[in-house]
Structure 1
């Protein structure tokens, strides 16, 4: 059985935050109809989305469910999926490596990992293969950091820069591959 690969596609402020301390995303620019900044291409490369519970709850506040691919929501406690989403999403528990193993056993090949704590949990054991980070030209001063502490003092995870784009709206997107 081939392992399930894991990748990240996310936006940060210039100062490295993915959301305000209260989880708000009001600093993100509105989506442009003619420029998805590579999201469609990225989403075509993945076959499952793994997100944390906080991210799931934030997505629920947007109204319409935005995903066409299966969604796995990580939660430390047992939860009930809203009935309208039972065929689209399910809750999972476990360590990141075990989750990727379960996904591989279910036939998934490439997971999109989303949500700050979830991304950090997959990065620490070096399970993320690819990072696509779009920097929004705004400083928000404080918030939820994309990268937390690594599991060991003086630890280091090395990434190879693949490419960088500058979009017409001023956003800068960099692609990295784990070495």
Structure 2
């Protein structure tokens, strides 16, 4: 059995991106010499992401291939044209990711609207959240409002230059609080 993992950076006030999907704040953040990305990525078989996340990632990669080492899925209800490096998915993300998790380690790349139903279905097994020392004031939140209250188990923190990485795993049993 695989697992579903969120790995990504947010601003100190909880945003994945600016209102227009800007990530300049992240690229202006000094990550120091070492990050956890390479070790994390070596454990991943599959990526899932929303259409906007895919489009922004492609821009950042100068339209080059996106994660050629993995199988990639992009959730979209509007885009119909084939993608060169990912498979479009218009079905329910909970059922789709649940099936992938049976055999694969799945990286939820983003964004918040894809993450919300996965959270509500309690599908996220592990979290790696890097916090950048910047306040955006507005933008695309990591956590959209939803029905997913739960407590996680702390694993560790790591300092990577100006980023602080929080690592959590799902608690084995949830109790009401």
Whether TM-score is above 0.5 comes out as yes
If the TM-score is normalised by the length of the shorter chain, which range does it land in?
0.7 to 0.9
Task: Quote the Cα distance in structure 2 between the aligned partners of 1:145 and 1:104.
Answer: 25
Q: State the match for 1:17 in structure 2.
A: 15
Q: State the match for 1:98 in structure 2.
A: 95
For residues 8-157 of structure 1, the aligned pairs below 5 Å read 8-29=6-27, 34-35=33-34, 37-62=35-60, 63=62, 64-67=64-67, 68-77=69-78, 79-82=80-83, 85=84, 88-103=85-100, 108-116=103-111, 117-151=113-147, 156-157=149-150
Unaligned 5+ runs, structure 2:
172-177
Q: Deviations over 1:15-56 (max 9, x none)?
A: 111100111111013576942x10111111110000101101
Q: Measured at CA, do residues 127 and 11 of structure 1 come closer, stay the same or move farther in structure 2, by a change above 3 Å? A: same
2:159 to 152, 161, 166: 166
Task: Quote the Cα distance in structure 2 between the aligned partners of 1:29 and 1:71.
Answer: 24
Q: How many residues align?
A: 166
TM value normalised by structure 2: 0.85
Task: Quote the Cα distance in structure 1 between the aligned partners of 2:3 and 2:91.
Answer: 17
Task: Quote the Cα distance in structure 2 between the aligned partners of 1:101 and 1:112.
Answer: 13
Unaligned 5+ runs, structure 1:
none
Pairwise CA RMSD of aligned residues?
2.0
